[in-house]
Structures are given as structure tokens and as C-alpha cells.
Amino acid sequence: MKNTQQTREITGAAALLEGLVAEETEVIFGYPGGAIMPIYDALYDFKDKLKHILVRHEQGGIHAGQGYARTSGKVGVVFATSGPGATNLITGLADAQIDSTPLVCITGQVFAHLLGTDAFQESDVINITAPVTKWNYQITDASEIPAVLAKAFYIAKSGRPGPVLIDITKNAQMQLFQYDGYTPCNHIRSYRPKPNIRKEYIEKAAQLINQAKKPFVLFGQGVLLGKAEKEFQQFIEKSGIPAAWTILGAGAIPTNHPQNVGMLGMHGNYGPNVLTNECDVLIAIGMRFDDRVTGRLDKYAKQAKVIHLDIDPAEIDKNVKTEVPVWGDCKETLPLLTALVDKKTHSEWLQKFNEYTKQEHEAVIDHELNPKGEELTMGEVLHQLNILSKGDAILVSDVGQHQMIACRYGKFNNTRSNITSGGLGTMGFGLPAAIGAKFGAMDKTVVAIIGDGGFQMTLQELGTIMQNDIDVKIIILNNRFLGMVRQWQELFNQKRYSFVDIESPDYVKLAQAYRIESKRVDQRNELIPALTQMMNHKGSFLLEIMVTKENNVFPMVPQGCSVSEIRLK
């Protein structure tokens, strides 16, 4: 519905900010520069309407935008200037694109008459970002700004979400034009964010499920993005089917739900991986059959009839051949399917998963959570954190061994509580994403779990935490290695540890320099008191925990192997 107001003359920059207010933008993460300066000048008059967080690097800004979008379910907004400011967003755009995270990124650009002249801080941001955005557009005239911004928000959040970038030349930001209000967008000709639901496929899927002896559900982030957690839980509880999750699907149902059989993938749980190749019907919901989930495709679930529920038709048959495609938003398709499935328990089939879980406990989990050695393990840190948080904290992990440990052993009682870089695997994601995650869920405890390698990629964002007094708890699991690469070098390269030893600064002193409370732990008897102190502290806190150097994450599906060849050691 259009904002009704009298036509008035304003600048393009002011029109942009009016649009952000109309879209109910809560926070902007950004970094000013010459080409975006008119927008920042206009922002000076919007301080009471728009909150802006000055980050320390544009990559930190976009990862913060991702963290905000992932916890809030809203569109993250990011500002950057031209040239290096815009190119510093590329990693975050690629990360958001593959993880379906809704963002609207605004970049400044040189004056329109200078485009293509290699002007100072000019880069061809449209062509550079085309492969890593859902849509991008360059504005050279201020009158375009309201309609393009509305279109950007609609594209970013509708259907399968993703990042959108608007590049605005400096003259368009400064130009005066006749502004007659902001009209949100809810339709674009030729753009169909949701495919039509085919009832005959719903019926065929229900028939397969009702006939199945060993049905198995794999669920991903599509359940969360569709806000279909309730509908999903009703489906699995009526059908009685065991359900396993991708790392971005964690939290769609509580970790301790009796039908939650664990994590899929390379470092997932034993039962879900092995039994993928024993089920007779495989029901994939809001997931894309990533290679880290499937292992060797020519040996993946060949015995099963596959039902695939997805909002993006491009995902159907992309990697795994589907027997029944169920196109549509799972919030709409799941209730239709639930109405047609028989109420069952599948208790014997579920028991088989429990037997594999018992084997995994004896071989791996018990040793990781309750180690007998003197050195601390990452798993026991997560175990004690779970006890203190009661599974209600938001865990934001970086990328590496600690990420797999956090996903495997974290307790996720609530939706949108496991925030991590899934498809791109971006080291440096954790700290800035935790900042954004806190703004998206101010009532929650946010704990960043980061390795010593990834932390050093974006540690400058401690300055953002300091300046804005952001209550984020930071755990650095320091094993003095680039741990995941080292594990592969140990297992597959005869322990030829090539450039994975990494030294760190004194993190306690570093945190103190940023006026952040801090502590280092290297003894088991210090762990629980330190975690308790961190969780009870009002404000940010950095806890460095020295963990064993050469601890490996198991189970593991070796690259090039099938999921049923998963190794417990």
C-alpha cells in the first residue's frame, strides 16, 4: 500500500532512507566512503529512525547483516562505498547467495558521467557481483530509487531468499526529484517466487510414504526460511518418520525431539549416514543435496524412492534423481501432505537409528564429551556450555573443526539458533555474524564459537563490539593449528603438516585493549567456573580455551566415499 503524502522535492539519498524506514529496517551495518557520502550525510538526519552500526571492515558488515537476517528472519541491510568498499562485500554476497540469506546491499558509485573511465575508486560492481546476487541494479537517476529499493526488498525476501545489491551513482544520491512516497513491492511481472502446488504430486508422495517400511526425512534450512517449523513437526509426529538435519536445518525441531536422529553429512552422525542407504523412501524437505551431505552421488540412496519438497524448482533433480517432486513453499505443502499420510510410529526402524547412536556414543561421543586425557577437548567445552545455557543460547560458529563440533554437540531447543556459514564455508564469518545475530535477537544469549585461525581473519570487529557495547560472548577454541586442514593432512597426506601451524596473539590482552572482559583457560578444573563467569557477565566477554592440538572430528565420510562408508575412527 502506498504511503500517502504530498509530493515534495528531496534528494535521492533521502528517498533511499525514507524507503528503508518504510521497510521497517531496524539496523544498518556499514562503512562510509567518498562515493556513498551523500547517503551518510542524509543519514545524519535519520538518527532517530534508523540505527547504523559502524563496522571495521566491509566484510564484517555483510557478515553482520547475514547474522541479523538469520536470527531475525528479516532482510539484512548493508552500506558500502565504491571500489574496494564494494569488492570487500563479495565474499559475504557469495556466502549469502549459497545459504539463501536475504540481504539488501547499497553501494555508492562514482558520478554517472565517469562510469567506464577508470575513475578513482571505480569498479564494475554490477558485473562483478552478478554471479553472487539474486538480483542487482545500478541507479543513475534519483527518480528510480523508491521503485528499485522496493523491488530489491521483495526479491531478497520472497521465494528462495537471497542477496540483492543496488549500486547508486553519486549524482543520483545528490539529485533532487519530485518524491511522492514509497510503495512496497509485492509483484513483479515474469518473477514467480513460489511455484504452483501440484496436488497430484502431494497425493503421490503421500501414497509412497504410507506404503514405506523404512521412510526417512532429511530436512534443511528451507523449513526455517519458510517459517514452517510447526508444520514440519506436525508432519513427522503424525507420520512417525525419523528425521535428520543439515547444519543449516538445525533447530527446526528441538535437538532432544524423539524423532530427531541427528546430523547428516561428512561429520554427521553415524546412523543417519549409514541408514540413508537402507531407507526405502527418502523425503527431502528444504535441502539441496549438497555434496557434503551425499558423498558419492553414484552410491547415494540408490535403493530409495526420493520425494523432494522445495520452493526452488532448479533444485529438483539437480543432484539426486527424484521420484516425486513437490514444488512449493513447505509451509503450504507440508499441511497438505500431513493431511494425507497415515498415523504411524515406525518404532522398529527408529530403534535401528538408536542402535547406531549407541555405537557412536561408545566409539566417539563419550570420549569427546568426557575425555580421560589431561588436555581439554572441544566437545567437552560444548557439553558444559549446553548445561549452562540449557540449549537456549544462539550459537554462532566460524568454519573448521570447531564448527563441526558446535553443530554436532550444540543443543538447539529453538529455531534460528545455529548460525554458521554452510555452503561457502567462510572463515572469518563467526565474529561479525555474532554481532548481527545479537541485533536480530536482543533477548537471547549469543555465543560465538571460533577457532584461532578464523578469529584472526576478522578480529578487528572487536572494535565494533567495543564502540557499540554489544553483549556477545566469544569462545576461542585454540588448538594452535588450522585444525580441519591439519586433520585432512594427517589422514590423507601422511601427516605432512604443510603450513597449518598458526601462532596467535595474546587474546586476553587483545580483548583488554578493546575494553572487553577476558580470560584464558587451559586446565579442566578452570573450565566450568570460567564458562559460568562468561555466561553471567553483563556485556561482552572473550574466553580463550586451550584445547588439545591433534584432536580429530569423527565420524567422518572420507572424500570420494559413500555415506555408508562413514568412519568412526
> Which residue has 601451524 as its cell numbers?
501
- Half-sphere exposure of 33 toward its Cβ, with a 13 Å CA cutoff? 25
Catalytic residue, chosen from 134, 151, 170, 411, is: 170
| Closest residue by Cα to residue 326 from 258, 254, 401, 228 | 228
Q: How far apart are CA 430 and CA 419, in angstroms?
A: 8
User: Catalytic: 484?
Assistant: yes
What is the torsional sign of CA 544, 549, 553, 558? positive
| Closest residue by Cα to residue 63 from 403, 440, 479, 389 | 440
User: Catalytic: 230?
Assistant: no
How far apart, in Å, are the Cα atoms of 185 and each of 152, 369, 417?
9, 50, 30
Catalytic residue, chosen from 58, 231, 315, 380, is: 58
User: Catalytic: 46?
Assistant: no
User: Catalytic: 427?
Assistant: no
Catalytic residue, chosen from 2, 5, 49, 120, is: 120
- Are 96 and 103 in contact by the 8 Å Cβ rule? The answer is yes
User: Catalytic: 489?
Assistant: no
Q: How far apart are CA 318 and CA 351, in angstroms?
A: 32
Strands 305-310 and 135-139: unpaired
Q: How far apart are CA 217 and CA 215, in angstroms?
A: 7
Catalytic residue, chosen from 287, 457, 484, 556, is: 484
Give helix 524-536 / helix 378-389 axis angle, nearest 10°.
Answer: 40
Category of 58 on φ-ψ map: left (φ > 0), alpha (ψ -120 to 50) or beta: alpha
SS3 177: strand
| Closest residue by Cα to residue 202 from 214, 210, 212, 193 | 210
Catalytic residue, chosen from 26, 46, 121, 321, is: 121
SS (H, E, C) 64-77: HHHHHHHHHCCCEE
Q: How far apart are CA 381 and CA 310, in angstroms?
A: 36
Q: Which helix (H) or strand (E) holds 487?
A: helix 483-492
Q: How far apart are CA 376 and CA 358, in angstroms?
A: 23
Residue 76's DSSP bridge partners are 103
Catalytic residue numbers? 58, 120-121, 170, 484
